[in-house]
Chain A
Amino acid sequence: MSTPTSKASQPLIFELGQEGRANRYLEEGKPLESFLPKSVLRDDLPLPDNSELDVVRHYTRLSHRTFGIDLGFYPLGSCTMKYNPRVNDAIAMRPEFAQLHPYTPDELAQGALQVMYELERSLSSLFGMAAFSLNPSAGAHAELGALLIAKKYFKERGETQRDKVIVPDTAHGTNPASAAMCGFKVISLPSSERGRVGVEEIRAILGPDTAVCMMTNPNTLGLFEDDIAAIAAAVHEAGGLMYYDGANANAIMGYARPGDMGFDLMHLNTHKTFTIPHGGGGAGHGPLGVAAHLVEYLPTPVVAASPRPNGETGAAPSDRLTFSLDFDRPKSIGPLRSFWSNFAHAVRALAYLYANGAEGLKRVSQLAVLNANYLRVNIAEFLETPYVEVCRHEFVASAQALKRDHGVRALDLAKALLDYGYMAPTIYFPLIVPECLMIEPTETESKETLDGFVAALREIVEQAKSNPQALFDAPVTTVVGRVDETRAARQPDLRWRPPSVAHQNEVS
């Protein structure tokens, strides 16, 4: 049996336990044959029986083999890995929220609807949109919803020839993938030497076939698109719509709003900007915002509010309202998911808004941008930063020179950082920067943490010059070394099989 710190691999849950070693959570059930004809029943249920203690040890040990924000600095660009306040989880897990059935009649779920209403109203003001839908489950899901809105909008205007979506070459991969899921053709727009979208360049590709221009601002290089008003005007003049990818919204709160920049559609990732835990890759939560002319296309349902009939007064304006889920939206694109929202995340996001208020959110963006620039100027002393100017919440560095002179790639720097107890930055993205490291510190990290990270990266870069082999071997302190990804892809092993079946497969 391995100990938590040992590098010995942890057995799979299927390799543990004994049949009949049951935990008595429920009464013993009668044989299934007493309820149903044998013809509809399964023959076997090949799952392991484990004691609760063994299960607790197993997953506790797996947790020890997993790195999260709670363990250390997580400078993953475009992912906004800030501290996830525990109070948000405590509130979301309260039974009045966690045990509420989605088909609970509106009058018995007024608290849940009020949470959604307050979040929706606050986000609309904060980002200058007419309304938000809390329906989408993640950023990419909201992109899909937004492009479906655009498609329907143009169809109703008789402009079905608008089949092109413009995506800058610095965009997240989800942008072109979402466009393709709506049948749009993607036009990739190269960035200027300033790392931005150029007004003349975009004018050159606009036309009667332009549907949507999808932009991130600040973009994934961490640079603010300062020509955004002119770009939006040009797209609108051509009859197209502007879409704002809100992955980088942590940089603008209290200073600029997508609505004021000219965007018609946008999404937020509350699992980035508003401290929802990423949970190892979800669940996310992607509110979808629209300008006034697109409100009626939002996914169903939306939360509707009306004054309370008995005129009760309360502490906050929303306390004087009564709420309902509105499904009767003739122009809506329809629902994007089984039920109304990733509601537990709406609770967390609203709790975070209450912890900040408008002034606090402005402070959040200030300190996120301060941290990024502090890292940028310190790292620029020993690593190339291709765009030498004030950045926003993130910036890019490049290992191009190290690769040319010493054969050390961005990947090697990333792996070496793991040995220092840091998560690696995003690497090889955006695609236009060779040997790219994309670094986003967020506002919740202290100066001491940033100084420690800079010192570690400096040491690694020095080692890249003096002893590159050490970096090729990194990481060495982790429970495993570099994983053979080629083998994983060429001989896919995507599941455990019971020994007898596995044996049969080998024989055949």
Chain B
Amino acid sequence: MYAPHTQRDIEQMLGAIGIESLDDLLRVPNDIALKAKLDVVPALPEYQIQRRFDRFAEKNAGVEYRSFLGAGSYRHYAPPAIAALAMRGEFLTAYTPYQAEVSQGYLQAIYEWQTYICLLTGMDIANASVYDGATALAEAAIMALGTTGRHKILVSRALHPNYRAVLRTYCDGLDVSVDEIAFDENGTTDLAALAHAVESKEYAAVALQSPNFFGIVDTLTQSALDAVNASGTIPIAVVAEALSLAAFAPPSSWGAQIVAGEAQSFGVAQAYGGPYAGFIASTQEHMRRIPGRLVGKSVDNAGRTAYVLTLQAREQHIRRERATSNICTNQAHCALIATIYLALMGKTGLRDAAALNLARSRELASAVANVDGATLKYAAPFFNEFVVDVGAPAEGVLASLQALGILGGVDLGRWYPELQSCILMTATELTTSADINALAAALDGAINVHAHI
């Protein structure tokens, strides 16, 4: 239990308090005192704990498979220097840096994170992190609701289904409705429908993801942006694959005022879904509505550069029910990991990573397109994932691939009834030619089987 008390310590301390026993200290009224026998996992010595988890680890065979899974969680190279630095006890075991004088290092690292996110997104400001990409979208929507005083949100159907679901969960609480815009035959948001929808001037925000859930560049054209701006709707950009920011024009270039994103790609472990590193960045005008912590640069009483949590009047511990958000603990350590990743990779390394993702995913796309019965669903420019139509139920094809040790991608029929025969496939810099050849060969057989059932 990691407590250092000897029996003598306990007796001395009870004596100092003037209490007979530990039970006397912890006694609660009889009517609520514990009567049940607790059913908790048994206590084990440390080496046995490791053995117990050996058993759990063995049963996660998925990590051994050739994987083409992405869809919001990406396998990228993370230099070991990240863990060596981020796992230092000073960082790992610190609390939120309320006492600035003894937290300068962490505060500076978060100021660097805020800067990195600004430089990558082209926004003016960024916060110290939110839980993940989906909650970043929900919090961005709440910013827009507050700014506009409107009660509806518009969101592209080509945006990550999980993100849309979380947005709906949050909006249900606020009695805000979420409407969706269709995507067209190119796999991108129907901008004509979007421009028409915002004319009602009922929407606080319109959210687009780029690259979208199908991996494709999906941004507002100038005319669509003009319609959005004319209607007073706030354009929100969602970025689920942060590495794409190293290649694509930043969301600021197509008019986004708020960017909600996920930085898992920057060195954060996939870890079956978390913890990840959500971020929110925005133009200057939204500064006082941004949720969560912000680190600012200031000076100390001797005029030295010093960092401190700032603009706290937005936050729950000061403003309580009038706060911009209820967020307290955020994802500081994941943000630190991402910051160290970006520092190690630098401009050159990040460009290389982006180029390798583009190269390997195109190698995969052409290998798959050569398989009889498989076609690339959309022709638009993509980053590291794309949609393959296998002409047979995707679920069955993926099961056949799995039997051969391959996780072929994500079954889009799970969310899109019209895409039952489509798979979202991802390749990153860690995908090898051997992986790609194995997939192509297996896919050929799998389609053959399922197309003829």
Chain B's closest residue to A151 (CB) is B173
Q: Contact: B296 with A423, CB < 8 Å?
A: no
Residue from the list B62, B126, B135 in contact with A495, Cβ < 8 A: B126
User: CB-defined interface of B324-354 with A at 8 Å, one 1/0 digit per residue?
Assistant: 0111111111101001101111111111111
Chain B's closest residue to A180 (CB) is B321
A340 contacts which chain B residues (CB < 8 A)?
A: 272-274
Q: Contact: A36 with B172, CB < 8 Å?
A: no
A157 contacts which chain B residues (CB < 8 A)?
A: none
A292 at interface by CB-CB < 8 Å: no
A240 at interface by CB-CB < 8 Å: no
Residue from the list A177, A284, A418, A494 in contact with B323, Cβ < 8 A: A177
Q: Contact: A283 with B170, CB < 8 Å?
A: no
Chain A count of residues within 8 A CB distance of the other chain: 209
User: CB-defined interface of A325-362 with B at 8 Å, one 1/0 digit per residue?
Assistant: 00000000111111111111101001101111111110
| A56-B323 contact given A67-B99, A82-B2, CB 8 Å threshold | no
A7 contacts which chain B residues (CB < 8 A)?
A: 304
* B304 CB, nearest partner CB in chain A, Å: 5
A22 to B343, CA, bound (A): 10
A191 at interface by CB-CB < 8 Å: no
Q: Contact: A71 with B90, CB < 8 Å?
A: yes
Within 8 A of A (CB), among B253-309: 253, 262, 269-276, 287, 293-302, 304-308
B63 contacts which chain A residues (CB < 8 A)?
A: 95-96, 99-100, 104
A479 to B302, CA, bound (A): 11
A399 to B356, CA, bound (A): 60
Residue from the list A14, A118, A341, A366 in contact with B115, Cβ < 8 A: A14
Q: Contact: B92 with A338, CB < 8 Å?
A: no
* B427 CB, nearest partner CB in chain A, Å: 13
| A475-B101 contact given A31-B355, A97-B271, CB 8 Å threshold | yes
Q: Contact: A284 with B298, CB < 8 Å?
A: no
| A137-B105 contact given A46-B347, A85-B2, CB 8 Å threshold | no
User: CB-defined interface of B157-175 with A at 8 Å, one 1/0 digit per residue?
Assistant: 0001011011011101111
Residue from the list B16, B99, B270 in contact with A102, Cβ < 8 A: B270
B67 contacts which chain A residues (CB < 8 A)?
A: 101
* A331 CB, nearest partner CB in chain B, Å: 13
A26 contacts which chain B residues (CB < 8 A)?
A: 77, 349, 352-353, 356, 429
Name which of B33-41, B195-203, B443-451 contacts chain A: B33-41
A112 to B184, CA, bound (A): 38
| A336-B316 contact given A36-B358, A125-B38, CB 8 Å threshold | no
A414 contacts which chain B residues (CB < 8 A)?
A: 99
Q: Contact: B105 with A65, CB < 8 Å?
A: yes
A242 to B276, CA, bound (A): 31
Name which of A202-210, A221-229, A457-465 contacts chain B: A221-229
Q: Contact: B28 with A256, CB < 8 Å?
A: yes
| A354-B49 contact given A125-B39, A144-B326, CB 8 Å threshold | yes
A183 to B321, CA, bound (A): 10
A374 to B57, CA, bound (A): 42
A359 contacts which chain B residues (CB < 8 A)?
A: 43
Q: Contact: A96 with B166, CB < 8 Å?
A: no
B231 at interface by CB-CB < 8 Å: no
| A137-B355 contact given A32-B247, A108-B65, A173-B323, CB 8 Å threshold | no
Q: Contact: A48 with B248, CB < 8 Å?
A: no
A409 at interface by CB-CB < 8 Å: no
B97 at interface by CB-CB < 8 Å: yes
Q: Contact: A278 with B96, CB < 8 Å?
A: yes
Q: Contact: A343 with B217, CB < 8 Å?
A: no
Chain A's closest residue to B281 (CB) is A495
Q: Contact: B340 with A66, CB < 8 Å?
A: no
Name which of B18-26, B368-376, B386-394 contacts chain A: B18-26
Q: Contact: A429 with B317, CB < 8 Å?
A: yes
B29 contacts which chain A residues (CB < 8 A)?
A: 226, 228-229
Chain B count of residues within 8 A CB distance of the other chain: 198
| A281-B332 contact given A23-B344, A260-B32, A361-B40, CB 8 Å threshold | yes
A63 to B109, CA, bound (A): 9
| A30-B99 contact given A63-B85, A280-B336, CB 8 Å threshold | no
A342 to B272, CA, bound (A): 8
A83 to B92, CA, bound (A): 11
User: CB-defined interface of B45-89 with A at 8 Å, one 1/0 digit per residue?
Assistant: 010111011011111111101010101110101010101111111
Residue from A59, A96, A112 having most chain B Cβ neighbours under 10 A: A59
A175 to B245, CA, bound (A): 36
Within 8 A of B (CB), among A165-184: 172-174, 176-183
Chain A's closest residue to B305 (CB) is A9
Chain A's closest residue to B344 (CB) is A55
* B73 CB, nearest partner CB in chain A, Å: 5
B31 at interface by CB-CB < 8 Å: yes
Within 8 A of B (CB), among A468-508: 473, 475, 478-485, 487-489, 492-496
A444 at interface by CB-CB < 8 Å: yes
A320 at interface by CB-CB < 8 Å: no
Q: Contact: A111 with B109, CB < 8 Å?
A: no
A159 at interface by CB-CB < 8 Å: no
B318 at interface by CB-CB < 8 Å: yes
A67 to B103, CA, bound (A): 6
Residue from A147, A224, A228, A334 having most chain B Cβ neighbours under 10 A: A334
Q: Contact: B300 with A70, CB < 8 Å?
A: no
* A361 CB, nearest partner CB in chain B, Å: 7
Beyond the given pairs A140-B329, A339-B272, 10 more chain A to chain B contacts, judged by CB atoms under 8 angstroms and listed by A's residue number, are A14-B112, A25-B77, A40-B249, A91-B50, A109-B62, A354-B43, A354-B44, A355-B44, A355-B46, A489-B313
Could you give 23 example pairs across A and B, Cβ below 8 Å? Answer: A13-B343, A30-B355, A32-B354, A42-B249, A89-B87, A93-B269, A102-B73, A108-B62, A174-B326, A181-B173, A226-B28, A255-B27, A257-B36, A260-B35, A334-B169, A339-B73, A339-B132, A364-B3, A415-B101, A444-B2, A446-B5, A482-B301, A489-B310
